[in-house]
Amino acid sequence: MNLARLGLEADQRGAPVKAGLVGSGKFGSMFLSQVPSISGLEVTAVADLDPQGARNACRTVGWEEDRIGATEFLEDGAALAELDQVDVVIEATGDPRAGIAHAEAAIRSGKHLVMVNVEADVLAGPVLSREAEAAGVCYSMAYGDQPALVAEMVDWARATGFSVTAAGKGTKYLPSYHSVTPDDVWAHYGLTPEEARAAGMNPQMFNSFLDGTKSAIEMVAIANACGLDVPQNGLTFPPCGVDDLAHILRPQEVGGQLSKRGMVETVSSLERDGRPVFRDLRWGVYVVLEAPNDYAAACFRQYGLPTDTTGRFAAMYKPFHLIGLELSVSVLSVGLRHEPTGCARDMRGTVAAVAKRRLNAGEILDGEGGSCAWGRALPCARAGTALPIGLAHRVRLKKDVEIGELISVEHVDLAENDPALALYREAMRGS
């Protein structure tokens, strides 16, 4: 709260937060569309592998030519982090290796960092956040994306004295989706390949949302930021609408589906037979909380909060998220209050690469949302030497892998001095 007022005051004293955006894709473009109407915030630089494409993105979202002319466009995200006219670096490339490199460049340059790149966050977030803290800057999740929204709800629940039983989001899920590839993804979205191509939609990116990988990444990010646990065998995606959250996402000992309290989980908007779930949460986020005493449980009833059959568990939810349209909340928060909107603290889980089909030695893995592997959320203790999905891109297999098998770091040709692998191992050692 009060960010709008703080932004207005910063604008009035001529000291707006100056942001540099790395990556002008969908998330970045949504953010750019809002910037002209936000007091106390300026985007002074945009880095993209295609600077002219970034300029065109600014025009597409409605920027006037004067604003575009006053903005520096460049190719190198690390160079952007060094610019004097940048206070906050926004990493929105979606490439985990690039995200880690840009984050470290920002921290070295004494800049706050908003990590839109959840793929990078689940690889090395706890290490990067410690580095940022040591440098006196903020490392923050991106508000508008689901992990930061869930982290806010978890914080609200704990600050008001409730314990968090479960937290997460909704998505469209069926078990068969784990094998979907970019070649056949559009049928699941009700589109033809031609329609998707005309709309500029990336099949691999959209497939990562469908095949379960993106849900795994986001749930691990929430677990790492909020001190919650990842299910032992991965997410189960129970079909569940908003009216049933408190019934289904409570411990097994009282009739729910959770092995224990304090878990992350993604709920499906589809029943297992493909029928739509009643009042689904496909686009939203939730937290299930437990009353600490009989008096609080009685207040749940008195104020109309739907509960489970015991009266002790209730759910709060937000039905939608607006991704990049809400990102300025993080930028203003770190720039004006030096406070992150969620931050990776401890490595509670990882996202392991699982073979979608039989893979043969010599094949090149094609990463998140590709045709080779999907990502399963696992607790660190269960992951062993599993290859994180963020490092499963453009690497060669040294051994055959059977369908459904976890791909190991030992299965791939990955240099021991790989900087992203080194940071990941450092993060895992601290788990």
Domain map of the chain by residue range? 3-145+324-337, 147-173+212-320, 349-429
Report the pLDDT value the prediction gives residue 72, as an integer from 0 to 100. Answer: 98
Dist CA 177 CA 214 (whole Å): 12
β partners of residue 114? 90, 140
Given this model, what pLDDT does residue 359 score?
97
Greater model confidence, 166 or 417: 166
Residue 425, number of CB atoms within 10 A of its CB = 15
What's residue 196's pLDDT? 87
Q: What is the mean predicted confidence (pLDDT) over 29-43?
A: 97
pLDDT of residue 417: 84
Q: Which of 188-202, 205-219, 257-271 has the lowest mean pLDDT?
A: 188-202
Choose among 367, 382, 372, 326: nearest CA to 96.
367
Q: What is the pLDDT of residue 199?
A: 75
Percent of the chain whose pLDDT exceeds 90: 95
* Nearest one of 57, 49, 58, 54 to 79, comparing CA atoms: 49
Give the model's pLDDT for residue 198. Answer: 81
- Tens of pLDDT, residues 113-150: 999 999 999 999 999 999 999 999 999 999 999 999 99
Class of domain 349-429: alpha beta
Cβ atoms of 48 and 23 closer than 8 Å: yes
Q: Give the tens place of pLDDT for each residue, 6-20.
A: 999 999 999 999 999
User: Is the distance from CB of 288 to CB of 313 less than 8 angstroms?
Assistant: yes
Q: Do 327 and 90 touch, CB atoms closer than 8 A?
A: yes
Residue closest to 176 by CA, chosen among 351, 354, 352, 356: 356
Specify the CATH number of the domain 3-145+324-337: 3.40.50.720
Residue 334's contacts (CB-CB under 8 Å, 6 or more residues apart) are 88, 112, 113, 114, 138, 140, 340, 341
Q: What pLDDT score was predicted for residue 245?
A: 98
Q: Is the pLDDT score of 197 beyond 90?
A: no
Tell me the DSSP string of 187-216. GGGT--HHHHHHTT--HHHHHHHHSSHHHH
Asked whether the predicted pLDDT for residue 219 surpasses 90, the reply is yes
| Residue appearing with tokens 């392991």 | 352
Q: What is the pLDDT of residue 416?
A: 80
Smallest CA-to-CA distance from 120 within 351, 286, 275 is with 351
Rounded distance between C-alpha atoms, residue 252 and residue 149, angstroms: 26
| Edge-to-edge strands, sheet with 163-171 | 263-268, 163-171, 285-290, 313-318
Q: Report how far residue 126's alpha carbon sits from residue 121's, in angstroms, rounded to the nearest whole number.
A: 8
| pLDDT tens digits for range 353-406 | 999 999 999 999 999 999 999 999 999 999 999 999 999 999 999 999 999 999
The percentage of the chain sitting over the pLDDT mark of 70, rounded to a whole number, equals 100
Give Rg (Cα) of the chain: 21
**Which tokens hold the place of 123?**
């690889």
